[in-house]
Structure 1
Amino acid sequence: MSFEKILTDWQKQQFKPIYWLEGEEPYFIDHLMQFAEEKLLSDAEKGFNLTVFYGRDTDWAQLINACRRYPMFADKQVVLLKEAQQMKDIEKLEAYIEQPLTSTILIVGYKEKKLDGRLKMAKLLKQKHEVFTTRKLYENELPVWVKQTAQNMGYVIQPKALSLLVDAIGNDLNRLYNEIEKLTLNLKGRKEITEDDVEEYVGISKEFNVFELQSAIAQKNMGKAIKIIQYFDANPKAGPLQLVLPAIHGFFCRVLMLHEAGSGSKNTNAIIGSNHPNAIADHTAAVKYYSYQQTQQILLLLHEYNLKSIGIHDAGSSGADLMKELVAKIML
């Protein structure tokens, strides 16, 4: 079952006895848990019929006892188990999963991993109940997610503003959601999010960011690249090396795929995961300025400097020095 389907069912007051939410993307689990806590019961019902547990502080018997209680002054009760991955002996819930109380809605948030599919409990969950498994979104899925999230809030986000957010934050969906929400609260009646808004309210410079550094490298503009790196050096939160290197690596991976697809490929948008003119221009320029063999060498260089950034084969150079050295070697 999908995230959207679960929400739709809940909004229609259609419930299953048990929902098992697992996987490596916490945003979807957190969002469903918050919705369940706030919306599944009326305010009058919550006092008697909403119980929230945390895995680290809960034992299996305590949870089962709560699930086997009958609702008071309502036709259902809701039991939430948050951070279930920290609960000891969680497999002992198997007996309840096999025969749950139909008036109880048990929702389990099992973050960072999946339940071992070989366990009888895992098989019972899949056979009888709803299991929702999350994953981290791929880089090329993020723009669509951000655009859709803004639209769901009633706003339009300009392509450049969208790129700034995605390039600066990456696939941290909880942070992306919070930043979009923050932007909407500051628009004072406007319905369009611009790059100026992102710069002012999120604190991402529209001139000095990973996206612009990537563009400078693509265009072989050494002066602009060094200027951006110097800005990062003076403003460490604007461009930490741990963010910059993966972004540039991803960019040149896509450039390599464009080389492999051949000139004039009709799949450019699909390969780079964007139809934004600036993104297309940067990737097209990189294909022009860097041959297939050079692109392969750049990817090896990026691996080498990633190791240096964590102290391997490096005597303690600053992030800015490593970036300047790397950019110079890329543009040779």
Structure 2
Amino acid sequence: MTFEQIYTDLKNNIYKPLYLFYGDEPYYIDLLTNYITDHVLKEEEKDFNLSVFYGLSTNGSTIVDTARRYPTMAPYNLVIVREAQQMRAELDQLSKYALHPSPTTILTVALKLQSGNKHELLKDFKKAVEKFGVSFESKKVYDDKIPEWIKKYLSAKGYTITEHACQMMADDLGNDLNLIVNECSKIIINLPKGSQITPEIVEQYVGISKDFNPFELCRAISKRNKLRAAEIAFYFASNPKENHPIKINAVLFNYFQKLWIYHQLNDKRGQTAAIALGVNPFFVKEYAEAARNFNINQCSQVLKLISEYDLKLKGVDIDQAEPVELMKEMIYKILAI
């Protein structure tokens, strides 16, 4: 089932005896787990019918014994297991319970994984859960999908955001959804519903400079504006904690990768190009302009250069170089290509 399907069922009081929420994106795992914790039982029912366990400090037999209990003056016995990635043999015990779950218990297991990592017992547990319950994998949102995610999130809250402001937030915050939601909340509590969020508002409440950010650096470089690019680079150098070179490097690589793709498109018209690049049609004109300043061979050279400096920024094959100096050096070399 999708997140939307599970969330809709929960809001309609349609419950399953078993839930497994897992993956490398904690935002959706927390959202679903917290909703179940907060809404399945009334406050007065929680004292005797809500049990919360944490993977590192519990064991499978305790969870199973608790799940086998009958509810006390409530419709359900609610058992929540958080941080289940810390469990090993315990998941095997939960798998056995999942094959014969109590119909009056709702057992919810939240298992958060690091990107690229797998839990050796997850496959068997997931299969057991799906016999009578629901599993949902919460996957990281790709970087190029973040602007659209931000717009949808704010739209659901009753706000609109300009393309420039949206890209500012996406470039600065990355694909950490919890961080994005936290920063959006700073705007939401200060603006009435129906407001449009502009770069000035993002700068005021989130603290991202509308003039000095990764988005503006990409613009300056793509226009071969050496003075502007240097100005932004020196600003970043004076604020390295807020503008870490590795993060800036990732944004630049993503930009020139899209520009390289743009050069290879047979149809470079707005909507078609926007879909191929994974950007809003608003930005296609900027890529068209950038393509006149960097041909496809130059884009390839830039991507190779950025990859080399990415390794240097991570300390590979270089001794005690300041990251900010490496970043400035790289920008100078890009503009010289």
Alignment match, 1:57:
57
Q: TM-score, normalised by structure 1?
A: 0.94
Could you say which residue in structure 2 is the equivalent of 1:86?
Answer: 86
Cross-structure match for 2:106:
105
What's 1:7 paired with?
7
Q: CA deviation at 1:108?
A: 0.6
- The equivalent residue for 1:268 is 273
> Which among 226, 229, 236 is matched to residue 240 of structure 2?
236
Q: How does 1:138-287 map to 2 (within 5 A)?
A: 138-187=142-191, 191-262=195-266, 264-265=268-269, 267-275=272-280, 277=282, 279-287=283-291
Contact 1:219-1:282 at 8 Å conserved across structures: no
Distance (whole Å) between structure 2 residues aligned to residue 42 and residue 26 of structure 1: 26
- Residue 126 in 1 paired to residue 130 in 2? yes
Q: CA deviation at 1:313?
A: 2.8
The range that moved more, 31-40 or 186-195, is: 186-195
Q: What is the deviation of 1:263?
A: 6.2
Q: Which amino acid aligns with 2:149?
A: W
CA separation of 1:236 and 1:97: change in aligned 2, threshold 3 A = same
CA 1:118–1:152 in 2, change beyond 3 Å: closer, same or farther?
A: closer
Contact 1:56 1:83 in 2 (8 A): yes
Conserved? CA contact 1:117–1:123, under 8 Å? no
Q: 2:151, 2:124 → 1: CA distance? A: 40
Deviation of 1:114 (Å): 5.0
SS at 1:176's partner residue?
Answer: helix
Q: Deviations over 1:166-222 (max 9, x none)?
A: 110010000001111121011256632222121111110000000000111111111
Equivalent-residue separation in structure 1 for 2:119 and 2:75 (angstroms) = 30
Percent identical: 34
CA positional deviation for 1:94: 1.8
Contact 1:16 1:129 in 2 (8 A): yes
| Amino acid in structure 2 at the alignment position of 1:292 | I
Alignment-derived partner of residue 302 in structure 1: 306
C-alpha deviation, 1:320, in angstroms: 2.4
> Compared with structure 1, are the counterparts of its residues 79 and 327 closer, same or farther at alpha carbon in structure 2 (3 Å cutoff)?
same
Structure 1 residue ranges (4+ consecutive) displaced by more than 4 angstroms after TM superposition: 113-119
Determine the structure 2 residue equivalent to 1:16: 16
- Which segments of 5 or more consecutive residues in structure 1 lack a partner in the other structure? none
- Contact kept, 8 Å, 1:220 with 1:289, in 2: the verdict is yes
CA contact (8 A) 1:64 1:96 kept: yes
Structure 2 counterpart of 1:60, one-letter code: G
> Which residue number corresponds to residue 41 of structure 1?
41
Query: How far is the alpha carbon of 1:79 from its aligned partner?
Result: 1.0
Deviation, 1:122, is 3.1
Q: Is the 8 A contact 1:57 1:87 kept in 2?
A: no
Q: What secondary structure is seen at the aligned counterpart in 1 of 2:19?
A: strand
1:311 is matched with 315
Any conservation in 1 of the 2:81–2:108 contact (CA below 8 Å)? yes
Aligned residue for 2:241, secondary structure, equals helix
Counterpart secondary structure, 1:311: coil
Matched residues, number: 331
Cα distance in 2 between the residues matched to 1:146 and 1:263: 28
Partners of 1:86 and 1:117 lie apart in 2 by 11
1:103 corresponds to which letter in structure 2? T
Distance 1:249 1:200, change over 3 A: same
2:208 and 2:66 map into 1 onto residues whose CA distance is 47
Cα 1:152–1:208 change in 2 (3 A) is same
User: CA separation of 1:198/1:287 partners in 2, compared to 1, >3 Å: closer, same or farther?
Assistant: same
List gaps (5 residues or longer) in structure 2.
Answer: none
1:27 to 2:32 alignment: no
SS, match of residue 132 in structure 1: strand
- TM-score normalised to the size of structure 2? 0.93
**C-alpha distance in 1 between matches for 2:156 and 2:327:** 38
Between stretches 294-303 and 111-120, larger displacement belongs to 111-120
CA deviation profile, 1:122-172 (whole Å, cap 9, x unmatched): 322233321101211112211121111112222222222211111100100
Q: What is the alpha-carbon distance in structure 2 between the residues aligned to residue 109 and residue 21 of structure 1?
A: 5
Asked whether the equivalents of residues 54 and 84 of structure 1 are also in contact (C-alpha less than 8 Å), the reply is yes
Deviation at 1:276, TM superposition (A): 5.2
Which deviates the most, 195-204 or 280-289?
A: 280-289
**Equivalent residue for 1:330, pick from 326, 329, 334:** 334
- CA change 1:175–1:263 in 2 (3 A) is same
> In the alignment, residue 99 of structure 2 is paired with which amino acid?
E
The secondary structure found in structure 1 opposite 2:79 is strand
